[in-house]
Amino acid sequence: MFNLGPSELFFLGLIIVLLFGAKKVPELFASLGQGIREFKKAMNENEDETKSK
């Protein structure tokens, strides 16, 4: 899909740090990870309910 090399990833990371600041980047990724976990949990719960019916 996306063919990103090391140089593109470096510049993307640099832009993210410049936009949000070095202190906010870990917080952003932590909240993104938490959102993904919650989404997967809800999907699994929905599948369990569907299978039990």
Give the model's pLDDT for residue 46: 79
pLDDT in tens, 4-52: 899 999 999 899 889 888 888 888 889 999 999 999 999 888 777 777 7
Domain count, the chain: 1
The one-letter code for the residue type at 45 is: E
Task: Judge whether 50 lies within some domain.
Answer: yes
- 16 domain-assigned: no
What is the DSSP-derived secondary structure letter of residue 22?
A: T
pLDDT at 51: 74
> What is the C-alpha separation between 10 and 13, in angstroms, rounded?
5
CA R_g for the chain? 17
Residue 53, pLDDT > 80, answer: no
In a domain, 11, yes or no: no
**C-beta separation of 16 from 25 below 8 A:** yes
Indicate whether 29 belongs to any domain: yes
Residue span of the structural domain in which 53 resides: 21-53
* Nearest-angstrom CA–CA distance, 20 and 18: 6
At 1, the pLDDT band (50, 70, 90 cuts) reads low
